[in-house]
């Protein structure tokens, strides 16, 4: 076995595989399948083991994540050596995406594609349980993005363990219920009268029902007891900004309506946002809908389909002010540096008078 590089001869067929890793119950099987399938049709194998770091890899608390990534890469290297035996195998390990914000399947597919192009990768072997960073499982959307960019991939045929729900909820379940209750209660009181006893009682009842029904759906990952309060503070900062955007949009729409010519240009736009699905995407979609002149029609994965009434509303959407604000709430100030949808070419008109 070779771990220091491989010199190819004219008659030597080398299979180059990229294996993205996360610490799942099927990662060992995935590595084994990659080695076996890579050696079946080739004389030598070049196996690239990579860990894609999440968007917050540069914050102080991510040191543990980097250590975990190095430990996983070390374990995976040992697995390849064990499975390869005396076969001619070169092993490369790397962490990728550390200088980028990785929010969803498109981002991960793009960094895999860039790595594949730099290293002449023939095929990507994907763990069916692949779950990078703190995101929910994203294999199916990731497959679609890999197909979109034309990167060959193979899903490892692993045996998945049976999933059994816990009979008794733990601290994580309580955190989800607690957070969902107070978020729902706060929204209810903002829309109602927080000084009226009837709104206080009905708000608590509605928030309780919402928390019991939707806590597990709203928060697909365990809550961070340090970051969650910080997000609450950042949300309190975001609310005045949202109200200001609502006021500006009201004035813009009113000015158009009052003009005799009524320069209304209804269009349907698609925006690939840079926020994760779940609560962040829901918050962004609702913020857009609350702003007059825009209405979120559909929110799937990271993609928003938005109806805009006037050009100014569409321009504001493409400039990404609300998206930047939601990133600030959920991911911190550093994430606000990501380019706008217009700058990164992630927004387009898909229907309306301009087509």
The DSSP H or E segment spanning 339 is none
Confidence tier at 288 by pLDDT (50, 70, 90): very high
Q: What is the pLDDT of residue 277?
A: 66
Mean pLDDT of 7-23: 75
pLDDT digits (tens, 9 = 90+) for 163-182: 544 434 555 567 778 878 88
CA atoms within 13 A on the CB side of 183: 23
Q: How far is CA 72 from CA 28, 102, 123, 201, in A?
A: 10, 20, 21, 50
Q: What is the pLDDT of residue 107?
A: 80
Q: What is the pLDDT of residue 217?
A: 65
pLDDT digits (tens, 9 = 90+) for 200-249: 999 999 989 988 887 766 665 555 554 667 877 888 899 999 999 999 99
As a whole number of angstroms, the distance between CA 62 and CA 68 comes to 10
**What pTM was computed for the model?**
0.57
pLDDT digits (tens, 9 = 90+) for 87-105: 888 999 998 887 776 767 7
Confidence tier at 324 by pLDDT (50, 70, 90): very high
Q: What is the pLDDT of residue 73?
A: 92
Confidence tier at 139 by pLDDT (50, 70, 90): low
Beta strands in the chain (DSSP E): 14-20, 44-52, 88-96, 123-126, 153-155, 267-272, 294-300, 303-308, 347-352
As a whole number of angstroms, the distance between CA 193 and CA 196 comes to 6
The single-letter DSSP state of residue 334 is G
């Amino acid at each position: 076995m070779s771990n220091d590089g491989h010199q190819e001869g004219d008659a030597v067929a080398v299979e180059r595989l990229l294996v993205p890793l996360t610490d799942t119950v099927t990662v060992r099987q995935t590595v084994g399948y990659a080695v076996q399938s890579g050696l079946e049709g080739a004389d030598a194998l070049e196996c690239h083991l990579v860990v894609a770091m999440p968007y917050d890899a540069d914050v102080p608390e991510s040191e543990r994540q980097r250590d975990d990534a190095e430990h996983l890469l070390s374990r995976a290297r040992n697995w390849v050596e064990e499975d390869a035996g005396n076969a001619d195998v070169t092993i490369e390990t790397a962490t990728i995406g550390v200088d980028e914000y990785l929010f969803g399947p498109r981002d991960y597919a793009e960094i895999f594609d860039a790595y594949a192009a730099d290293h002449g990768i023939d095929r990507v072997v994907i763990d069916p349980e692949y779950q990078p960073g703190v995101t929910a499982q994203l294999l199916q959307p990731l497959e679609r993005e890999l197909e979109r960019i034309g990167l060959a991939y193979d899903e490892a045929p692993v045996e998945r363990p049976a999933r059994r729900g816990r009979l008794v909820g733990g601290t994580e379940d309580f955190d989800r219920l607690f957070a969902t209750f107070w978020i729902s209660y706060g929204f209810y009181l903002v829309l109602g009268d927080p000084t009226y006893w009837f709104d206080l009682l009905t708000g608590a009842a509605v928030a309780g029902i919402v928390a019991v029904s939707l806590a597990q759906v709203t928060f697909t990952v365990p809550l961070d007891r340090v970051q969650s309060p910080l997000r609450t503070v950042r949300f309190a900062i975001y609310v005045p900004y949202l109200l200001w955007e609502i006021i500006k949009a009201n004035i813009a729409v009113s000015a158009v309506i009052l003009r005799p010519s009524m320069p209304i240009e209804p269009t349907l736009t698609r925006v690939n946002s840079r926020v994760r699905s779940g609560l962040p995407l829901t918050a962004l979609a609702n913020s857009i809908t609350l702003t007059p002149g825009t209405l979120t029609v559909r929110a799937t994965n990271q993609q928003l389909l938005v109806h805009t009434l006037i050009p100014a509303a569409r321009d504001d959407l493409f400039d990404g002010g609300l998206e930047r604000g939601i990133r600030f709430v959920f991911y911190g100030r550093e994430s606000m540096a990501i380019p706008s949808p217009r700058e990164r070419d992630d927004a387009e008109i898909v229907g309306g008078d301009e087509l």
